[in-house]
């Protein structure tokens, strides 16, 4: 999706949050914001918001001389999710429909984001999976697609959350499933190191998308990634950044995400906080502004 004018204040809000997470003092935080403000006039609104995030987080890493500012948050998120894994696996095992249960748990895994939510909130959400409702849940279409798939590509999102993706992937139980992570640290997105730590390779092939962008910017992804992207019958894209970077490509991608921004919510007639598991052809755009 294209960038909307309302994304600009949000970019700066995220910049401040990230600058604070790095431990930068206020003078350095101000310097980071100034540098981000300077590049906004040259940023094309034809680009998707994660393309701006790439630039913002490059500025933050450079000015703080910290290649992985979210390392501690990622480690804590991983630990938290791994601790929840046995309980959640039990829920899937005893569910009437294990796959449906695993999809929902993977979706809720999106709340394991210690940069945004505290531990109590995350625990409450994860323990309450039986009450979890999706605003749109194209489960029938999805299971049909899975049953006929020769190659599945699963695009991961954050560290920690990917433990719950593993549970979903275990339940899909497909012999040719690729799990893609970012090619380098950006925000709290999962990298190969995180996926290996969680033993995802026991159930799928872990690959890098070859970029340091949050989301999946196809024109920047590696050849290895694109080969698998092109041959996959089913693509599952997790999280809002993957939605923002892939919702206009000509593929029938299954987006599994929570709507976290009012611009996207307004565009498709949903609410901030709603959960979706659907393809783009099921979403009706109500608002043409700049998207």
- Tell me which H or E stretch contains 36: helix 26-39
Closest separation in Å from C-beta 21 to a copy of itself: 14
Closest separation in Å from C-beta 269 to a copy of itself: 21
State yes or no: residue 86 binds a copy of itself (CB under 8 A): no
Q: In this chain, which of 1, 2, 16, 282 binds a copy of itself, going by CB under 8 A?
A: 16
Q: In this chain, which of 18, 22, 26, 123 binds a copy of itself, going by CB under 8 A?
A: 26
Closest separation in Å from C-beta 43 to a copy of itself: 9
CB closer to a copy of itself, 45 vs 85 = 45
Stretch of residues binding a copy of itself (CB under 8 A), selected from 23-31, 109-117, 137-145, 275-283:
23-31
Contact present, 182 and 209 (Cβ < 8 Å)? yes
State yes or no: residue 119 binds a copy of itself (CB under 8 A): no
Q: In this chain, which of 10, 47, 63, 249 binds a copy of itself, going by CB under 8 A?
A: 10
CB closer to a copy of itself, 9 vs 140 = 9
Contact present, 177 and 169 (Cβ < 8 Å)? yes
DSSP string, 101-157: HHHHHHHHGGG--TTTS-HHHHHHHHHTGGG---SEE-HHHHHHHHHH-S-EEEE--
Per CB under 8 A, which of residues 197..236 are in contact with a copy of itself? none
Residues 6 or more apart whose Cβ sits within 8 Å of residue 44: 3
Residues in the chain: 291
Q: Is 180 exposed, middle or buried (0-12, 13-18, 19+ CB in 10 A)?
A: buried
State yes or no: residue 290 binds a copy of itself (CB under 8 A): yes
Residues 6 or more apart whose Cβ sits within 8 Å of residue 35: 59, 63
Stretch of residues binding a copy of itself (CB under 8 A), selected from 3-11, 165-173, 181-189, 271-279:
3-11
d(CA 85, CA 202): 15
Among candidates 81, 105, 211, which has minimal Cα distance to 158?
81
d(CA 216, CA 195): 17
Contact present, 241 and 214 (Cβ < 8 Å)? yes
Place of tokens 């699963």: 154
State yes or no: residue 63 binds a copy of itself (CB under 8 A): no
Binding characters for a copy of itself, 29-48, by CB under 8 A (x = yes)? xx--xxx-xx-xx---x---
State yes or no: residue 9 binds a copy of itself (CB under 8 A): yes
CB closer to a copy of itself, 32 vs 207 = 32
Count the residues of the shown chain that bind a copy of itself, applying the rule CB under 8 A: 21
State yes or no: residue 6 binds a copy of itself (CB under 8 A): yes
State yes or no: residue 135 binds a copy of itself (CB under 8 A): no
* Residues binding a copy of itself (CB under 8 A): 5-6, 8-10, 12-13, 16, 26, 29-30, 33-35, 37-38, 40-41, 45, 289-290
């Amino acid at each position: 999706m294209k960038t909307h004018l309302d994304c600009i204040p949000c970019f700066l809000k995220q910049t401040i949050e990230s600058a604070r997470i790095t431990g930068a003092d206020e003078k350095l935080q101000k310097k980071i914001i100034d540098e981000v403000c300077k590049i906004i006039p040259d940023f094309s609104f034809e680009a998707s918001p994660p393309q701006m995030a790439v630039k913002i987080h490059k500025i933050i890493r450079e000015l703080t001389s910290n290649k992985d500012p979210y390392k501690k948050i990622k480690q804590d998120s991983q630990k938290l999710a791994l601790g929840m894994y046995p309980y959640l696996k039990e829920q899937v095992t005893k569910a009437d429909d294990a796959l449906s249960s695993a999809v929902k748990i993977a979706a809720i895994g999106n709340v394991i984001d210690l940069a945004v939510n505290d531990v109590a909130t995350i625990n409450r959400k994860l323990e309450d999976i039986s009450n979890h409702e999706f605003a749109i849940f194209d489960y029938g279409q999805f299971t049909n697609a899975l049953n006929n798939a020769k190659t599945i590509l699963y695009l991961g999102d954050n560290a920690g959350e990917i433990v719950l993706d593993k549970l979903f992937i275990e339940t899909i139980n497909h012999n040719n499933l690729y799990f893609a992570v970012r090619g380098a640290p950006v925000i709290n997105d999962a990298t190969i190191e995180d996926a290996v730590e969680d033993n995802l390779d026991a159930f799928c092939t872990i690959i890098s998308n070859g970029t340091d962008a949050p989301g999946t910017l196809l024109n920047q992804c590696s050849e290895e990634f694109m080969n698998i992207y092109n041959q996959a019958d089913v693509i599952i894209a997790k999280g809002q950044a993957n939605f923002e970077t892939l919702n206009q490509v000509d593929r029938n991608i299954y987006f599994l995400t929570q709507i976290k921004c009012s611009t996207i919510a307004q565009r498709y007639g949903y609410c901030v906080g709603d959960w979706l598991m659907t393809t783009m052809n099921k979403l009706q755009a109500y608002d043409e502004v700049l998207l």
